[in-house]
Amino acid sequence: MKYTCKTKQNEEHLSNTVKFLKAVSDENRLKIICFLNAGERCVCEIVDFLGLSQNLVSHHLKVLRKQNVLKTRKDGAKVFYSIYDGQVKDNIKFFSSLILKS
Amino acid sequence: MKYTCKTKQNEEHLSNTVKFLKAVSDENRLKIICFLNAGERCVCEIVDFLGLSQNLVSHHLKVLRKQNVLKTRKDGAKVFYSIYDGQVKDNIKFFSSLILKS
DNA sequence: CATATATATCAATATATATTGATATATTAA
DNA sequence: TTAATATATCAATATATATTGATATATATG
């Protein structure tokens, strides 16, 4: 199934891919992703790791969560973030198919 | 070789990845990439395809070229753009390794 | 219950980037 | 040589987004 850049469905797929790419194309957010590659972490651990303010980290996490790059699990007062592997894999695969010859 | 987010070299690698992702995370630029997937095209063809002003297209092409997403070949008055497959493949591979468990 | 901890949100500002309009440069054609 | 075509660049503006500071909410602890 070749991408044609023409149909409505593909337009939408492309639009979603742009949103995904925008979400991950930020230095701090890529560091978060890198940190979470080893497994889930709560927000305070991510704050410590990055050395950024809590509200700023919370903002970046929100951006990643909105695009389903990350998912969350609440445990008491803590919220654990982890990579939403399935969604991410699909996005990378589609992006890759757009840019590289199949 | 696991990514640690710690060494200077990896910091730089990550920084390059962010630049690559920023370059491709734009709707018009992703459409250009999609269009060029079939093969090289001159600027005027890309302008026709996108239906955008020539100067704006030229700007987007410059962004993609700067990050080695695209390469160029000049032929007379025309400049042909095409996807720089090798560079792109490397970037996607590294990005993928950051975000997905190996 | 009062306090501390963890996280999210909101408004304001700073910064980066997309877009537009005008113009410059190079190449081809008449 | 003049005009037309192809592409790039520059300045100005609009828009999106990162960052900061303050505050709200929810949970845990003494």
Instruction: Provide the pLDDT for residue B12.
Output: 84
Nearest CA in chain A to B101: A37
User: Which site among A1, A2, A4, A5 would you substitute to test the B interface, given the most B Cβ atoms closer than 10 Å to its Cβ?
Assistant: A5
pLDDT of residue B68: 97
Instruction: Work out the average pLDDT over A61-74.
Output: 98
Say whether pLDDT at A1 is over 70. Answer: no
List the B53 CA – D9 C1' distance (angstroms). Answer: 14
Closest listed residue to residue A16, CA positions, set B18, B39, B25, B64: B25
Q: How far apart are CA A82 and CA A76, in angstroms?
A: 17
* pLDDT band at residue A45 under the 50/70/90 scheme: very high
- Could you tell me the sign of the dihedral formed by the alpha carbons of A35, A40, A41, A42, in that order? positive
Query: Residue B1 has what pLDDT?
Result: 46
Considering only CA atoms, which of B19, B5, B25, B9 is closest in space to residue B91? Answer: B19
pTM of the predicted protein model: 0.93
When pLDDT is averaged across residues B51-66 and rounded to a whole number, the result is: 98
Report the percent of chain A where pLDDT is more than 70: 91
Whether residue B14 and residue A30 make contact (CB cut-off 8 A), yes or no, is yes
Q: How far apart are CA B63 and CA B16, in angstroms?
A: 14
